[in-house]
Amino acid sequence: MAITEAARNNHAELFPGHISTLLQTDPELIEVFDNFAFDEVRQYGGLNTRTRLMVQLASTIASQALAEYRVMLGAALTVGVSPVDAKEVVYQAVPYVGMSKVFDFLHATNDVLTERGISLPLEGRATTTAEDRLAKGLAKQKEIVGADAVDGMYETAAPDEVHIQRYLSANCFGDYVTRSVLDTPTRELLTFAMLVSLGGCEPQVKGHTMANLRVGNTRADLLAVLTHLLPFIGYPRTLNALRVLNESAPAADPSTQS
């Protein structure tokens, strides 16, 4: 099986001038993978290049694929993902993946940016303060999740668990999701990609499927994310997420379409 022209061109766009050593040592595997990931899958859906690369970066963080992340970060920066975009993907991962898993990726990001001559730190992008993070975070949480759902979580929380709800509002949403640069629909796609890639988070995948729909993303957008993650996260996690997507946002019945 030869690598298709489309796969070669798409690969070259991301990795100009790169000669794959794996193509020399494992030609059959790379021919199959490149034709699938860089041709067949690339033909699907309407994600723009920036969004596609950012959700793949988010996925590699959640998957703990550090070597792949460094490679994909270089590709993302090459095709128009900005340094601040990349940093915001990493920061967004902290409340959903956890700092212990993000730590090495933050250092890798700094290394790649420094190697490209980008001075650190980048300009700050926080939009909240210690005084208003809870109020602004709660407002953002209600915008994304729904006011009734958020109020219900507070009302049904046991007295010794209310602090977790406050942390969710002030820390997750107030400290991170309110940050500038990436809009809310993009941040929700990143969150969806991370939760899918973590595995075992189906209740949260369901919640953020509905959140994505609330902020303007569509079933088609989420299906495109799953499709472009599939070569990197495999079929089991993709199919688990697809089941959740079909339960939460089923495909339109063709028989009802005029």
pLDDT by residue for the chain (258 residues), tens digit each?
799 999 999 999 999 988 889 999 999 999 999 999 999 999 999 999 999 999 999 999 999 999 999 999 999 999 999 999 999 999 999 999 999 999 999 999 999 999 999 999 999 999 999 999 999 999 999 999 999 999 999 999 999 999 999 999 999 999 999 999 999 999 999 999 999 999 999 999 999 999 999 999 999 999 999 999 999 999 999 999 999 999 999 998 776 655
- Using CA of residue 34, residue 40, residue 43, residue 47, what is the dihedral sign? negative
d(CA 18, CA 32): 18
DSSP category for residue 117: T
Exposed/middle/buried for residue 103 (C-beta within 10 Å: 0-12, 13-18, 19+):
exposed
The torsion region of residue 81 among left (phi > 0), alpha (psi -120 to 50) and beta comes to beta
Mutual angle of helices 5-14 and 66-78, in 10-degree steps: 90
Residue 258 has what pLDDT?
Answer: 53
Residue 256 has what pLDDT?
Answer: 62
* In contact, 80 and 175? CB cutoff 8 Å: no
Judged by DSSP in three states, 213 sits in helix
Residue 52 has what pLDDT?
Answer: 97
d(CA 186, CA 176): 13
Chain Cα centroid distance, residue 74: 17
Helices (H) and strands (E) in the chain, counts: 14, 0
Tokens of 231: 């070569």
Exposed/middle/buried for residue 233 (C-beta within 10 Å: 0-12, 13-18, 19+):
buried
Residue 255 has what pLDDT?
Answer: 65
Q: What residues contact residue 148 under an 8 Å CB cut-off, 6+ apart?
A: none
pTM of the model: 0.96
* In contact, 182 and 88? CB cutoff 8 Å: yes
Residue 71 has what pLDDT?
Answer: 96
